Structure 1
Amino acid sequence: MGIRNLLFAHRDVEGIDHIEVYEAHGGYTGLKRAIEIGPEATVNEIKVSGLRGRGGAGFPTWIKWSGVLSDKSGKPHYVLCNADEGEPGTFKDRELMLKLPHLVVEGIAIAGFATKSQKGYIYIRGEYVEPAWQIRKAIDQAYAKGYLGKNILGSGHDFDLYIHMGAGSYECGEESALMSSLMGERGQPRLKFPHAPLPTVEGVWQAPTLINNVESYCAASWILQHSGAEYASYGTEKSKGTKIMSVSGHIARPANYEVEMGTPLMELIEAAGGVVNGRLKAVIPGGSSVQIMTAAQCEKVTLDYEGCMAAGTLLGSGGCMVFNDTTDIVLLMRRTAEFYMHESCGKCTPCREGTRWIFKTLDRIVSGGGRPGDVELLLDICKQIDGRSYCGLGDAAAWPIVGAIKAFREEFDYWIEHKRSPVGAHCVPKLPEFSQQLLSLLPAR
């Protein structure tokens, strides 16, 4: 367990973003091997590896690939890469695209061959201008070498890869909203299975579509360059391989760290230099949408899907935010609630109205207007959102609040009773004009 650089093995090699250097370090041998063994065997290699989606859900990757490959509808197949990395605390995909763009491109090309798709799209977060340029250069170099385009490496398979830039919407990181945005429609979510077909059956342009995130495609490159069995030799029984964790907050060396699945959280914190300017108070392990853990919980949790679930949280996207004992949890939740209120697409009532009520209640508490019953009010609002929203963004807005109240109820009560921070914090940022306009639409409560 511990730090295990598989995807990051060549991260610091000078010039690794150039195709000749990447090839010299085993680059595109995974694509060559996929072509050699064929689509079905390639999908089986992903199955043997035990790879699960690294975007947060942890769904077995091979099932998606197999679903598109087995389609007999006669429709064209598409491959999408979700590079719309907008989860607060997560920045791993940014580094992969910046430093290892060919690892990303190769993984998508492998997926294109394995699913018999002829077109692929990388949907990149609008703010990621430099990573997009790196991917653009890598795509151009791959075309020049015959890894993309017509008759790839003499295989008879054609595959074209395009970049589509987002416009800064967090919602478009949700796969159905991403597909809508890619097709030129409003970036809002669609109905989900079982009320609508899966993307592997009917995705973009009503055709079978494979959607994975950047890290998942990079892992596919590594697996085909080496073997599924070797990848499965790392990690735990149910969580195979490695996970890139974006460590930030009150930590000595904030950065991306690739760890073997099952690594104790405290081992990662130690590898990142430990907590600075105080003692450990809390950790959010998987991005802002998952539940916060106390220091006592952190001592026991392991970084894998099952370990985090046992601790009452999720591994999520791997955005590991570390907080010392100077952190005011209520102020932290206020900031989190403001983000989700701002990013709600407004399509469904529970999320549109609920996120505003969560923020309004928290903002009133930290402004000195807390009242008895406010904690129960927050829990009730979250209950009305959770599981009732059109997509997971509503759940993502509710879970952090519920988790924070469960773990740090005394801080909420202190704010309500004493009208001040229990840790002496006093910085309540001025609300942006846009958020003020949203709140002005709510009745007084």
Structure 2
Amino acid sequence: MTVAPEYGGTSRPEAGGETSPEKILAPVLSAFWDQPESWTLETYLRHEGYAGARKALAMAPDDVIAYVKDSGLRGRGGAGFPTGMKWQFIPQGDGKPHYLVVNADESEPGTCKDIPLLFANPHVLIEGIVIACHAIRSNLAFIYLRGEVVPVLRRLHEAVREAYAAGYLGKNILGSGLDLDVVVHAGAGAYICGEETALLDSLEGRRGQPRLRPPFPAVAGLYACPTVVNNVESIASVPALMNKGKDWFRSMGSEKSPGFTLYSLSGHVANPGQYEGPLGITLRQLLDMSGGMRPGHRLKFWTPGGSSTPLLTDAHLDVPLDYEGVGAAGSMLGTKALQCFDETTCVVRAVTRWTEFYAHESCGKCTPCREGTYWLVQLLRDIEAGKGRMDDLDKIDDIADNINGKSFCALGDGAASPIFSSLQYFREEYERHITGKGCPFDPAKSTVWADNDAHLGVNA
């Protein structure tokens, strides 16, 4: 795990600029991950823990919402929807209980930010929950955690226990009059439960499948009551924002995408890990700071936000990694999961493995996704094995088009994205598999998950 050096000021780095690493990187969430027992309440309090909550609890709920809205904080779960605006959608005076649900079901291939955050510093999430629940007038919050990460589950339970014992959860928090309970719920490992309405169904004890919208969760969410669903990093960003101010927050990042965020750098890179910096930093700058690609190799393609975002190439190294910059380049920032692949990687093989994942994780509720991902896998396997035909390329493009924008939730769109983008940039490589009757790459050296540590040249 790699974290940023001590915070050395704010910066809006220009593409390919000479800004020093100390000024580019902005460790806020990861500021003390490397300290002994960083996950304990004692350590958290030494680093201004719960100071943001004290300030927020002294404000009126609507003022907190307005403050977060003015800060420009955007959701860190992928879509980038303004956090304060989402809180504002909760109807007031409706006589119903309001709920906050934290989506910690991190399962997008390549995404690994929320789980390390919870493992190293769970109290920052709990403090963010206190602030958010005060703002939306909620007395009950749920943390829906991916069930496989048992060490994180245990650490989160202990942090919640500490918070109750210290009076940061429970009755009359810090004398504010707010009563708040937090429930930690372990999911059963379904990728579809990362979709917010499928997550709500799972919390209610039903099979995790996306709901028809409207009504939206803000009106009829958990138990048919107004509900806010936020990503872990979104909520964890609120305490520092409240403590240090919205102007401080806006001093980082870009005008439309302000603030700091975690970038998950993985793949064929010399030093994979979490790099926290302002939105708008470029992959070139991150690679310069992380030692670049593995020795002797060059970047071939990469994903800006996990496998469900259209892949980019080495021509996009200077694209600002914010929502507008990546969108203008034809992709999506998503979860900032920067998977980097070098020239030894077979694009067809990588896309086939991703598509197999989406076919396996499809909930089966809608026909385009259920049938489309299945047939994409069959065709891609044939192409990878050299058994495909040239018209199969138009066929997978057509099937992806019939999934994209026509499935019940965004899983179908995510499955289609690697198809479209890989055909756009690497169609010749698909054709070589067909004309050459097989994959031209050495499978022992082609992809990250097939390599051993010695071959990668990094410490896994």
Matched residue SS, 1:368: coil
Question: Matched residue of 1:161: which SS?
Answer: strand
1:138-217 → structure 2 map (5 Å cutoff): 138-192=159-213, 196-217=214-235
Output the TM-score relative to the length of structure 1.
Answer: 0.93
1:390-442: CA deviation from partner (whole Å, max 9, x where unpaired): 1000111011111111011110011111112233447899xxxxxxxxxxxxx
Percent identity between the two aligned chains: 46
Asked if residue 113 in structure 1 is aligned to residue 134 in structure 2, the reply is yes
Matches within 5 A, 1:395-414: 395-414=413-432
1:80 counterpart letter in structure 2: V
The match for 1:320 among 338, 359, 362 is: 338
Specify every segment of 5 or more residues in structure 1 that has no aligned partner in the other structure, as ranges.
Answer: 430-445
| Structure 2, unpaired ranges of 5+ | 1-12, 14-23, 448-460
Q: Secondary structure at the match of 1:59?
A: coil
Distance 2:332 2:280 in 1: 13
Q: Does 1:274 align with 2:292?
A: yes
Aligned pair 1:45/2:45, yes or no? no
Taking the aligned partners of 1:340 and 1:9, their CA distance within structure 2 comes to 35
Q: Secondary structure at the match of 1:248?
A: strand
SS of the equivalent of 1:137 reads helix
Quick check: 1:94 aligned with 2:115? yes
Deviations along 1:208-237, one digit per CA (max 9) or x if unpaired, are 001101100110111112112210111111
Counterpart amino acid of residue 383 in structure 1 = D
Query: Partners in 1 of 2:327 and 2:363 — Cα distance?
Result: 28
> 2:453 maps to which residue?
none
Partner SS state of residue 217, structure 2: coil
Taking a change above 3 Å as real, the CA distance of residues 278 and 82 of structure 1, as seen in their structure-2 partners, is: same
Q: CA deviation at 1:163?
A: 0.6
Letter in 1 for 2:193: C
Match of 2:345, SS state, is: coil
- Which secondary structure does the structure 2 equivalent of 1:377 belong to? helix
SS of structure 2 residue aligned to 1:126: coil
Contact 2:310 2:420 in 1 (8 A): yes
SS in 2 for 1:369: coil
- Given that 1:45 and 1:223 are in contact with CA atoms closer than 8 Å, whether structure 2 keeps it comes out as no
1:56 to 2:78 alignment: yes
Query: Aligned residue pairs: how many?
Result: 424
What's 1:355 paired with?
Answer: 373
The alignment status of 1:75 with 2:93, answered yes or no, reads: no
1:25 is aligned to 47
Residues of 2 paired with 1:294 and 1:287: CA distance? 14
**Secondary structure of the structure 1 residue equivalent to 2:153:** helix
C-alpha distance in 2 between matches for 1:273 and 1:87: 25
SS at match of 1:91: coil
2:303 is aligned with 1:263: no
Q: Distance in 2 between matches of 1:153 and 1:386?
A: 49
The counterpart of 1:333, out of the listed 345, 351, 360, is 351
Deviations along 1:99-135, one digit per CA (max 9) or x if unpaired, are 0100011111111111110000000001111111111
What is the letter of the counterpart of residue 245 of structure 1? Answer: Y
Check 1:52–1:83 CA distance in 2 against 1; reply closer, same or farther (3 A cut). Answer: same
Answer yes or no: is 1:368 the counterpart of 2:390: no
1:156-193 C-alpha deviation (Å, 9 max, x unpaired): 1111000111101000000000000000011000012x
Stretches of 4+ aligned residues off by more than 6 angstroms: 426-429
Q: 276, 284, 289: which is aligned to 2:303? A: 284
Q: Distance in 1 between matches of 2:38 and 2:240?
A: 15
Instruction: Please state how far the C-alpha of 1:71 moved relative to its aligned partner.
Output: 2.3
CA-to-aligned-CA distance 1:27-80 (integer Å, 9 cap, x gap): 001111111122122112211210000000000000111122x42211000000
